[in-house]
Chain A
Amino acid sequence: MDTTKKGRKRTIGGKFIKALVIQTLIICIGVSVLVGSLYFYTEIDQIGQKALSVGRLAADHIDGDRIQGYLDTLEKDEHYQEADDFLKKTKEVFGFRHHFVFVYEGDTATALWSAESDDVLGDKKKGSETDTELAQAVLSDNPPEDFLLSYSPEYGLCGTIWVPVHDSSGKSVAIVSVEYSMPELIQTILLFALIAIAVIVLVTVLGGLLFYRNIKMNIIRPVELLEKASSEMVSNIDKDVSFQVDIHTGDELEALADSLNKMEQGIRKYIRELAQVTAEKERINAELNVATSIQTGMLPSIFPAFPNRPEFDIHASMDPAKEVGGDFYDFFMIDDDHLALVIADVSGKGIPAALFMMSSKILINDHAMMGGTPAEILERVNKQVYAHNDAHMFVTVWLGILEISTGILTTASAGHEYPMVNTGGRYELLKDKHGIAIGAMKKSKYKNTEIQLKKGDSIFVYTDGVAEATDADYKFFGTDRTLEALNAIPDGASQKEILAGVRTAVDAFVKEAPQFDDLTMLGLKYFGPVE
C-alpha cells in the first residue's frame, strides 16, 4: 500500500507543468539563438556594406596616377589636400575608427593619407603575414569584398575593409582602409534577446496556463472523479452501495465513465449471482450428504449383524466412488432358517444410480420376503423394474439364500460377477448360472444354482469395483488377483478381516489412480447348525 501512495504523489497536473517548463526553456533558447544570430549577421552586414561603399567612394576620389609622384617627392599638391579633406570628413560623418590610404609593396606598407593625422606621407611600416596576404588579394584583378572582424576589449567588435585604388590604366596601385568599431552592437543584441525571451516566456506561460486550465477541467478533474469512484467501488464492492460516476464531457472520458458504471453494475450482478450459485451449490451438497446418509442407512451396517446366530459370520462394506453410488449389498433373515444375501450394481453413477438402487433394493427385499427361489424372486423383480424403467437403467444382482439348518446355498445371478467360494480350503470362482441384468429385458429367465456349504466354508461376493479396480496404466485388478488376495489371508480370519485384506490389496494395486467405480464386498462364513 505504501508504494501506491508514494506513486500517487505524481499527478497528471504536476507532470503537465513540468513538461510545460521544459518546453518553454527549449523554445526560449532556440528562438534567442535564432533571432540573435539573424539580427547579428544582418546588422554586421549592413555596417560592412556601408563601410565598403564609403571605401569605394574614397578610392574613386583618389587619382591613382599621382600616387607614385607623392611617394617619390613627398610633396602635397591640391589633389592631395582635397583627398585628405575627403577622408577626414567621411571618418567624422560615419564615425570610423581609422580611415587611411597606403601603398603595399613586398611586406611593407607606405602611408599616403590618414584621416587622423596630417603628416603621414611616406611613413613606412612592416606588415604582418596576414596583412601581406590580404594586400596581395586586394591588389589582384579580382579583389575580395569581405570585411575582417576582430574583437578587442578596448574597442569592442571591430570591422576592417580594404578597397583598391586604380590608376588610369586600371591597375591597382594603393589600398584604402576603413576600420570601424561596433561597441553597441553586442549590447543591443543582448537586450534584444532578453526582450524576446521575456515575450516568449510570457506567451508560453500564459498559453500554458490557459491550456492547463482547459486540461484540468476536461481531463484531470474527470480522471480524478473516475479514480475516486473506482477505488471506492473496489473497497465497497461487497456492500450494497452504488458509486455511479457523473461525468458529462461528451468525449471518451464520458464513455469511460459509462463503461465504469456498467462494469460496476455488472460486477454487482455477478457477485449476487455467484452468491446465489454458491448457496445453491451448498444446498445441493448438503442434500447430497443427506442422500448419502440415507443410502448408507438403508444398508445394514451394524456388525456383528446377528450376534445371537453363532451359525455364521457375515460382514459387508461399500465405498462409493462418488458421494452416492449405485452399488449395494443387503442381507436379512427371510425366516428363522433362511438368510438372504444380496449384492448388486446399478449401471451408472451418482444420484440417478442411487435412486434406482433404492427402489431395486426395496423390491428385492419385498419379493424375497414373499418367498420363492432366488430365480423366481429375480424374475418377479425384473418384471416390476422393467415396467417403470424409462431411463433404460439396469442392475446386476446376485442373490443367495442360505438354509442355515442344512448349509444349502441357492444362488441366482442377474448378470452379476461370479461369486468366490471356499469349500475346499481355497477360494475359487463359482460359475453359477447367469441371466441378464434386471431392467434390461421385459421377460428374463433366471436359473438357480445350489451348493452345499460345510462347516467352515465361506463365500465372497463383490461388485465390478473390485475386479475392475484400475491402476494408472488401465490394468485391471482382475478376478485372479482377487482370488490371490483372498487366499493370502490366513485361516481363521474373521469376515471383517477378509474384506479389509482385499481392500488393502486393491489399494496397493491401484496406488494413485482415481477410484472409478464403487467398491462393494460381502463375505459369509458358515459354521454349521447349532447342535
Chain B
Amino acid sequence: MSDNNNLIITVTRNEAEYTFYLEGRLDTLTSPDLEDKIEEIFDDATKLVFDLGKLDYISSAGLRVLIGVAQEMEDEGEMVIRNLTPPVQEIFDITGFSEAFEFE
C-alpha cells in the first residue's frame, strides 16, 4: 500500500470540467488509482484536464491510462494535458505521445 502513496491525486470540479492534479509517480503501481478516480466521474465529464506540474515520472502504464481516456473522450468531449515537467515531457517526446494529446 505504501507504494500507492507515491501518487497524490487531487480533483477539482467546475461544472462538467474536471481537473486532475497529479503529484509523484504515475507508474504500474499507481496508475490503477488514477483509473479508478477517472472512472468515478467519467460519465458526467465533458472536459478533462490533467495538470502534471508536480509529476516526476510517468511510465508506459500511466501513458496507457491517459491514452485510454483520450480515446474515450474523443466522441464525448475534450481532454487536455498541461504543465509538463522536463522529465515527463521527455517521456512524452520519446514515446511519440506528444502528438497524441492536446496540450495547453
Contacts and interface: CB of A to CB of B under 8 A. Distances in A.
A binds B: yes
Interface of chain A, main secondary structure: loop
Interface string B81-104: 000000000000111110110000
Contacts of B41: none
A435 B95 CA distance: 7
Given A347-B61, A349-B61, A440-B100, A417 B71 contact: no
B77 interface: no
A516 B28 contact: yes
A396 B95 contact: yes
Given A347-B63, A348-B61, A392-B64, A436 B71 contact: no
A386 B25 CA distance: 27
Given A474-B25, A516-B28, A348 B64 contact: yes
B27 interface: yes
Given A416-B94, A437-B96, A345 B60 contact: yes
A437 B99 CA distance: 10
Interface residues of A, number: 27
Interface of chain B, main secondary structure: helix
Contact of A415 (B56, B57, B68, B97): B97
A474 B59 CA distance: 13
A328 interface: no
A417 B56 CA distance: 18
A318 to B, nearest CB: 16
B6 to A, nearest CB: 8
Nearest to B31: A348
A517 B99 CA distance: 25
B67 interface: yes
Interface in A427-458: 434-437, 440-441, 444
Given A392-B68, A474-B25, A434 B93 contact: yes
Given A392-B64, A440-B97, 14 more contacts: A347-B60, A348-B60, A392-B67, A392-B68, A392-B71, A394-B60, A394-B63, A394-B67, A413-B96, A437-B60, A464-B59, A468-B59, A474-B6, A517-B28
21 contacts: A345-B60, A348-B28, A348-B61, A349-B61, A392-B67, A394-B60, A394-B67, A414-B96, A415-B94, A415-B97, A434-B94, A436-B95, A436-B96, A436-B100, A437-B60, A437-B95, A441-B99, A441-B100, A444-B96, A464-B59, A516-B28
